[in-house]
Every structure is written in C-alpha cells, then in structure tokens.
Amino acid sequence: MSENKYGEVIISREQIQQRVRELGAQITKDYEGKKLLLVGILNGCVYFMTDLSREIDLMLQIDFMVVSSYGASTKTSGVVKIVKDLNRSIEGYDVLLVEDIIDSGLTLSYLKEYLSARNPNSIKIVTLIDKPEGRKIDIKADYVGFNVPNEFIIGYGLDYAENYRNLKDVLIIKPELI
Ligand code: IMP
Ligand code: MG
C-alpha cells in the first residue's frame, strides 16, 4: 500500500469507513430491543466511537472512560490505572466497550472485570484493530474491525506518545519516528 512521511498505510480511510459500516450494521442487529450503552476508552477511541455510533441505527447512549497503561513507550507496562471513571450507573445496560486496539489484552480484561461488578445486563467488546500475536492474557473481542501483525501502528485515534491520532489512515510508523 502507499507510503507517506509517517509510514506505510496498512488500512486506508476507505477500508475503515466500509468496515465501520459493516460493524454498525451487525451491532444494530444484535442489540435490537436492548439498552445499549457504548463506553469508549479515551483517547484512542475518539474517531472510531464517533463514526461507529452513527452507523448504529438504534437508540443508544454513550459515555467514556480514561485509563492509562502505556506512557510514551510502544510496549505495555501491564499496569492499568483508571484516570476517569464513568459517573453514571450501568446496571441493567448492555455495555459495549469501544477500543481502538487490543494488544496484550491487559487493559480490556481489567476493565471488563471492573465494570462487570456493577451489574450490567451484558458486557461486550468492539475493537477497530486486533493484534492477536501481542496477547498476554486470554481475551477476545466480540467484534473486530481488522487484524494486524505485531507492528506499532498509528492513525485514526492510535497514537505514538500522544501524536499522530488525527491521521486519516492507519499506518505502520516509520522506525525513525520512534
Ligand atoms: P493492551 O492492554 O496491551 O491490549 O493495550 C491496549 C492499548 O495499548 C490501546 O488502547 C492503545 O492505546 C495501546 N496500543 C497497543 N498497541 C498499539 C499500537 O500499535 N499503536 C498505538 N497504540 C497501541
Ligand atoms: Mg494509547
């Protein structure tokens, strides 16, 4: 695929748009008649959350959490800290966690457990990108946009040290930028 000054495009904006539509249609079917609450994990989820939520043709609610695990490194620290929690009840709601990417799985496995204690009706995961080779804990997303190899990627919400989130495509970052 095409190369630009930040790296090699591995998922184009057109592919993202198409796949987000498909995920939205699937979620619309699966959550018909349920009390859907999308919980986005900031900051990575922003672009995916806004696009995906508008492709779901149902009455739904949105909320956000902020967790930190990475810092300015490309490897997970394994430590998950809740920086901003939900300030609402999720009891009886069908919670769908919205993530940009699952790598080690530590963040989502921790969050799923943490939120399960608050008696939601159900709790599932949608991730735009999955890096299955990076897994350190056994967790699967219920909806996956794309599988990618074990490379550090940026764009469409994904950052390196908080930069590059606003790129329209998903790219493998150029080594000289790290
Ligand atoms: P996990 O706990 O290892 O699954 O990490 C999930 C978080 O790590 C994501 O929300 C991202 O913020 C970050 N992350 C993992 N891999 C990448 C990557 O390739 N690019 C950018 N961020 C990543
Ligand atoms: Mg991040």
Neighbours of ion ligand 2 (CB under 5 A): 44
165 CB within 6 A, ligand 1: no
Point out the ligand nearest to the CA of residue 162. Answer: 2
Query: pLDDT tens, 11-54?
Result: 999 999 999 999 999 999 999 999 999 999 999 999 999 999 99
**Residue 103 catalytic?**
yes
Query: pLDDT tens, 74-91?
Result: 555 566 889 999 999 999
152 CB within 6 A, ligand 1: yes
Nearest to 101 by CA among 172, 28, 48: 48
111 CB within 6 A, ligand 1: no
Query: pLDDT tens, 133-157?
Result: 999 999 999 999 999 999 999 999 9
45 CB within 6 A, ligand 1: no
From the CA of 159, how far away is ligand 2's center (Å)? 6
Determine which one of 51, 94, 100, 103 is catalytic: 103
pLDDT score at 49: 98
- Give the pLDDT band of residue 68 (cuts 50, 70, 90): confident
pLDDT score at 72: 52
Q: What is the rounded distance in angstroms from the CA atom of residue 70 to the CA atom of residue 44?
A: 12
pLDDT score at 81: 87
From the CA of 44, how far away is ligand 2's center (Å)? 6
104 CB within 6 A, ligand 1: yes
pLDDT at 71 over 90: no
Ligand 1 pocket test: which of 70, 106, 140, 174 has the largest number of ligand atoms within 8 Å of its C-beta? 70
Q: Per-residue pLDDT averaged across 148-171, rounded?
A: 97
pLDDT score at 19: 98
Query: pLDDT tens, 91-106?
Result: 999 999 999 999 999 9
From the CA of 70, how far away is ligand 2's center (Å)? 6
Q: Would you list the DSSP string of the chain? A: --EETTEEEEE-HHHHHHHHHHHHHHHHHHTTTS-EEEEEEETTTHHHHHHHHHT--S-EEEEEEEEE--TTSSS--S--EEEE---S--TT-EEEEEEEEESSSHHHHHHHHHHHTT--SEEEEEEEEE-GGG-SS----SEEEEE--SS-EEBTTB-BTTBSTT-SSEEEEPGGG-
